[in-house]
Structure 1
Amino acid sequence: MSTDRADDGTGAALLRDTVVALSERAPAVVAAAAEHMRGLRLGLSFNDGTAALLTSRHSRLVVEDGPADAADVEVVFDDRAMNLLFDLQYRPVDQVLPGSLDVRGERDQVLAVWRVFTLLSQRASGLRCVQQLWEEYRRRSPGLWGAPPPDAGDGTDVADATGWAALDYLNRRRPAPASDREEGGSVGWSPAAAPRLLWNGRTGTPWWEELPLTDADLVETMRVCRDRVADEMRRLIPDREPRRDLYDLMRAYPARQGKGLRPTLTVAACVALGGRAQDAVRSAAMLELFHNAFLVHDDIADESTHRRGLPTLHTAYGAGLAVNVGDGLNLLAVDTLLSNVTTLGLARTLGLIRETLHMCRESVEGQAIELGWIRHREVPADDTAYLTMSGKKTGWYTCISPCRIGAVCAGVTDAAVLDRFDEAFRLIGIAFQIQDDVLNLVGDEALYGKEALGDLWEGKRTVMLIHLLRTVPDPEERELLRKIVLRPRQEQNDADVRVVLRAMHRHGSLDHAVALADDLAARGIAHFERDLDVLPENKGKAVLRQIAHYVTSRPL
């Protein structure tokens, strides 16, 4: 991705791109660093004349270009300091010299900044994408180190020799490419083939330990889980007639893959409770089949025109075929659910049936609440009604149920244990939905995957809309906005939609939504640590924790 490259080759760009990559791929690291940075403004000046300001916003790290006149702590990097950075060749006290890695500020604030960079260097250096960013920067700036040596002298390939001690050390222990690893099919597959989480929010494995190193990369973890479950779905969809008007169309939405949040939660929860990853794959595929069926039907109900960058199914093929495809995906999901009897046994399958019915009931109830507001031309008076609706839809359907179903796959059917997931992931799920609603208004459509401003065209009762209509002080403006948002989609026009968006910016509705999402996510993380303390600190729990922090740290 372009965000994973320091395109202009400057120190400020390298910092910015590193923070962007970490926010997506190691959110627990970013959240921990942001906690140390809270309230501090760090100004960084680099040897190439560029400068940047690093601050924290809620649980995010934010990098802004330009001089930091009002910084609490200032750090200056000259050529020598850039050469030493990440190499750990000297003690910190021997690196800090006037004008060279020069640090100025109050003692407590400087120590806080040092803790931030300790986290970022020791934890994030295990990310292959970060190593590639810094290696590319090294190659773009040979003047700092001189040309790479023709031979590293230790068996390292010339193409991989950077001349930078820390990176060369890591390169010598680069894991085998995924194509060279033994996949072992569905029975042998496990997250061991995926990244090992170096940082779980409490403890971590430093990169200098002599252990086989793999990337601590949440994106890569989610990709592995998503792709394995996608393979299972492709296997499950029948390859028979009628292909053109049913089975080929049933493959359409699953082929438009998302990030893999639900499959990862399902597999991670299973592993966290001592199960095998492969035991959760079929149930994760069942969830994704239900999910894609819901999407097909939701797009019809919402009159959406695009889904993940392509026309919605009913737009391309008509409502009749789309409804039937959604029904087919639901039927296949039920068949997949029941097929667990042959691999997991009757008791666990009965538990899965109970959890799936609960998920569907919560989702249908939440959908009824949301569609009812539109049908009856109502806008809730406060956020409470939205939280109830979103908790039923996104809370259960996207977060809680995948965790509970993964736990059942591991053999846990005790309600007292399963209930421990509920409050943490209800709050995290609502926060995730609010952030998606914000991204629909301010995000890049190509990255977001849905129709830009689609929620405004559809008149969705988002937190932003609810806040706007209760806070606009001028009665005439409030009435105008209400008339616009209550119109059916076919009567909307781009100019009026833009009027509502500008009003949301002007009256602080977007800021209100972001703050509410951050508060909900923070409360969810607190519940995660308290309610799930009975789970051992293993790889599965580490992935669950990373996802919890992903909600708070991803850029908006």
Structure 2
Amino acid sequence: MVKTAPEVKVEQTQVNQPKQDDSNGWSGGQATNIPLPNGGSIQLPDEAESIVNPPDAEKPQFDKTIINETLQQSRQAITGRIMQFIDFKRDISGGYAPLYEMLKDYPFRKGKMLRPTMCISAARAMGGMGDRALTTAAALELYHNAFLIHDDIEDGSESRRGKETLHHAIGVARAINVGDATNVLAVGLLLENLSAIGIQKTLNVLHEIEFMAQQSVEGQAMELDWVANNTGQLTDQDYFTMCVKKTCWYTFMTPLRIGLIIGHPTANLTELVKPLADITRFGMILGIAFQIQDDLLNILGDLKTYGKEIGGDIYEGKRTIMLNHVIANSNAADRILEILALPREQKKPEQIGFILEEMKRCGSIDHGWYLARTLANQADNIFESMDFLKPESPLQPGENWGSSLQDRRFLKQLINYVIYRNL
């Protein structure tokens, strides 16, 4: 008998959420609540033991033109804003120039900049102006890069965006300081919002980012503890909980929520209860799918397109959905845990290869792949119900944003993009 995987929900205490059709997502199961910044909670599934009606194996198409043009336009604006602010802070304070040059490293390594672009697109799809979201978007990108610098150190990673990680290039102590300085720079950028979006919206944005940062460090603590303790027998629910905290908040949920807050005509959050609930739920589910796909690319991807070390997650002992699955299902689980317990530098390529082969034999890679696609399908169903996002977002009078973009279409195309990128 095939078990039905449980439903992933976001519920707000202020509104009644529509029930999901079981055929479109998860159903049943006991839930674990994760709080939201404005009250209410996210409900995570107890277990995803199997996939019912797995998605079609055919690779769906996404509009590369919309994705590439939107990302390129926002990337130019965001990197320009970051460069301007770094130079401004260096010049007005008589700053130490070498530090400010190092601050330009990670942000200018040609990352995708999905997070800030989602923030801007969500703001414009709500009827707001792209340039009013630009400063916040740039701050989000700086926070992301600060996290990456510290994350690379904590994980012992060797490459980032196709280049040597910062701590390998300049040493751990200096890299930590650059990460700290990047965080400080992001705070300074957020304070620049006062003149662009007003006091109340600025405070709302700061509250969202404080909550995001708290969730991120909690998720990182969970993952690091699992590695340090060589934890086995983790469930899908354990992974979901960690993933929402570490990845989903700062990669999808917070950028989208902030975009809605900035783009809404007023600063009154009571008018945004339902839209915030819906877009949070969308961001959570798509974020889990994104992270599972990222974990898959780490073991199956190409270094040139992936930009990070292939197999690095296994060397680091990260408890991905696939690793948890193989530990739970392999007859060689004890050997796998023995390999994972070794320090990174003592792990041998043939040991990593053995774990990969066990993943394939136990269906762990298929488990992650089907789960990511099923979540993406559910995210698509949620997105179609979000009628508060305008179908088109033409330039408004006084808006300095290059060209008119169909921001709702960009957000829609992201669903397949995050699953089928680099394949």
Q: TM-score range by the shorter chain?
A: 0.7 to 0.9
SS in 1 for 2:278: helix
Alignment match of 1:374 (pick from 227, 230, 233)? 227
Length, aligned pairs only? 347
Could you tell me which amino acid in structure 2 is paired with residue 434 of structure 1? Answer: I
Q: Report the alpha carbon displacement of residue 368 of structure 1 after superposing the two structures with TM.
A: 1.0
1:439 maps onto 2:307 in alignment = no
Q: Report the alpha carbon displacement of residue 489 of structure 1 after superposing the two structures with TM.
A: 1.3
Q: State the TM-score, normalized to the length of structure 2.
A: 0.78
Kindly report which structure 2 residues correspond to 1:88-487, keeping only aligned pairs within 5 A, or say none: 216-238=65-87, 239=90, 241-244=95-98, 246-411=99-264, 413-414=268-269, 415-416=272-273, 417-472=275-330, 474=331, 477-487=332-342
1:537 maps onto 2:362 in alignment = no
CA distance in 1, matches of 2:156, 2:242: 20
Alignment match of 1:495 (pick from 326, 339, 350)? 350
Q: Report the alpha carbon displacement of residue 317 of structure 1 after superposing the two structures with TM.
A: 0.8
Q: Report the alpha carbon displacement of residue 407 of structure 1 after superposing the two structures with TM.
A: 1.5
Could you tell me which amino acid in structure 2 is paired with residue 370 of structure 1? Answer: E
Could you report, residue by residue, the CA deviation over 1:162-191 in whole angstroms, capped at 9, with x for unpaired residues?
xxxxxxxxxxxxxxxxxxxxxxxxxxxxxx
Could you report, residue by residue, the CA deviation over 1:18-55 in whole angstroms, capped at 9, with x for unpaired residues?
xxxxxxxxxxxxxxxxxxxxxxxxxxxxxxxxxxxxxx
Show the counterpart of 1:58. Answer: 55
Which protein, 1 or 2, shows the higher relative CO under an 8 Å CA cutoff with sep ≥ 6? 2
Q: Report the alpha carbon displacement of residue 553 of structure 1 after superposing the two structures with TM.
A: 4.2
Alignment match of 2:376 (pick from 501, 521, 530)? 521
| Conserved 8 A contact 2:139-2:186 | yes
1:546 maps onto 2:399 in alignment = no
CA distance in 1, matches of 2:203, 2:134: 17
Q: Report the alpha carbon displacement of residue 379 of structure 1 after superposing the two structures with TM.
A: 2.8
Could you report, residue by residue, the CA deviation over 1:124-181 in whole angstroms, capped at 9, with x for unpaired residues?
9xx8x8xxxxxxxxxxxxxxxxxxxxxxxxxxxxxxxxxxxxxxxxxxxxxxxxxxxx
Identity %: 39
CA distance in 1, matches of 2:376, 2:341: 30
SS in 1 for 2:360: helix
Q: Report the alpha carbon displacement of residue 555 of structure 1 after superposing the two structures with TM.
A: 5.7
Show the counterpart of 1:47. Answer: none
Q: Report the alpha carbon displacement of residue 420 of structure 1 after superposing the two structures with TM.
A: 2.1
Q: Report the alpha carbon displacement of residue 549 of structure 1 after superposing the two structures with TM.
A: 3.0
Q: Report the alpha carbon displacement of residue 226 of structure 1 after superposing the two structures with TM.
A: 1.7
| Conserved 8 A contact 2:233-2:328 | no
Q: Report the alpha carbon displacement of residue 452 of structure 1 after superposing the two structures with TM.
A: 1.2
SS in 1 for 2:410: helix
SS in 1 for 2:115: helix
Could you report, residue by residue, the CA deviation over 1:365-391 in whole angstroms, capped at 9, with x for unpaired residues?
111111111122213431110011111
Could you tell me which amino acid in structure 2 is paired with residue 310 of structure 1? Answer: K
Show the counterpart of 2:9. Answer: none
CA distance in 1, matches of 2:163, 2:388: 44
SS in 2 for 1:280: helix
CA distance in 2, matches of 1:338, 1:555: 36
| Conserved 8 A contact 2:142-2:185 | yes
SS in 1 for 2:240: helix
| Conserved 8 A contact 1:59-1:553 | no
Show the counterpart of 1:510. Answer: 365
Q: Report the alpha carbon displacement of residue 503 of structure 1 after superposing the two structures with TM.
A: 1.5
Q: Report the alpha carbon displacement of residue 478 of structure 1 after superposing the two structures with TM.
A: 1.9
CA distance in 1, matches of 2:56, 2:261: 32
The CA RMSD measured in Å over matched residues stands at 2.0
| Conserved 8 A contact 1:262-1:402 | yes
SS in 2 for 1:217: helix
Could you report, residue by residue, the CA deviation over 1:434-493 in whole angstroms, capped at 9, with x for unpaired residues?
001100111111100101111011010001100000011x2xx22111111122213212
Could you tell me which amino acid in structure 1 is paired with residue 320 of structure 2? Answer: T
CA distance in 1, matches of 2:159, 2:354: 22
Closer, same or farther: CA 330–60 of 1 in aligned 2, 3 Å: farther
Q: Report the alpha carbon displacement of residue 340 of structure 1 after superposing the two structures with TM.
A: 0.3
| Conserved 8 A contact 1:380-1:386 | no
Could you report, residue by residue, the CA deviation over 1:303-322 in whole angstroms, capped at 9, with x for unpaired residues?
11111111111111111101
Gapped regions of structure 2 (runs ≥ 5): 1-53, 393-405
Closer, same or farther: CA 290–380 of 1 in aligned 2, 3 Å: farther
Could you tell me which amino acid in structure 1 is paired with residue 83 of structure 2? Answer: R
SS in 1 for 2:391: coil
| Conserved 8 A contact 1:351-1:413 | no
- Structure with the greater alpha carbon radius of gyration: 1
SS in 2 for 1:237: helix
Could you tell me which amino acid in structure 1 is paired with residue 101 of structure 2? Answer: D
Gapped regions of structure 1 (runs ≥ 5): 1-56, 63-115, 130-215
Could you report, residue by residue, the CA deviation over 1:249-283 in whole angstroms, capped at 9, with x for unpaired residues?
11110111212211220111000110011111111
| Conserved 8 A contact 1:60-1:553 | no
Could you tell me which amino acid in structure 2 is paired with residue 512 of structure 1? Answer: H
CA distance in 1, matches of 2:348, 2:85: 42
Q: Report the alpha carbon displacement of residue 232 of structure 1 after superposing the two structures with TM.
A: 0.9
Q: Report the alpha carbon displacement of residue 413 of structure 1 after superposing the two structures with TM.
A: 4.7
Q: Report the alpha carbon displacement of residue 60 of structure 1 after superposing the two structures with TM.
A: 6.3
Q: Report the alpha carbon displacement of residue 551 of structure 1 after superposing the two structures with TM.
A: 2.8
Q: Report the alpha carbon displacement of residue 247 of structure 1 after superposing the two structures with TM.
A: 1.2
CA distance in 2, matches of 1:243, 1:496: 45
Closer, same or farther: CA 403–413 of 1 in aligned 2, 3 Å: farther
| Conserved 8 A contact 1:266-1:284 | yes
| Conserved 8 A contact 1:59-1:552 | no
| Conserved 8 A contact 1:60-1:552 | no
| Conserved 8 A contact 2:116-2:255 | yes
Closer, same or farther: CA 59–363 of 1 in aligned 2, 3 Å: farther
Show the counterpart of 1:147. Answer: none
CA distance in 2, matches of 1:305, 1:551: 24
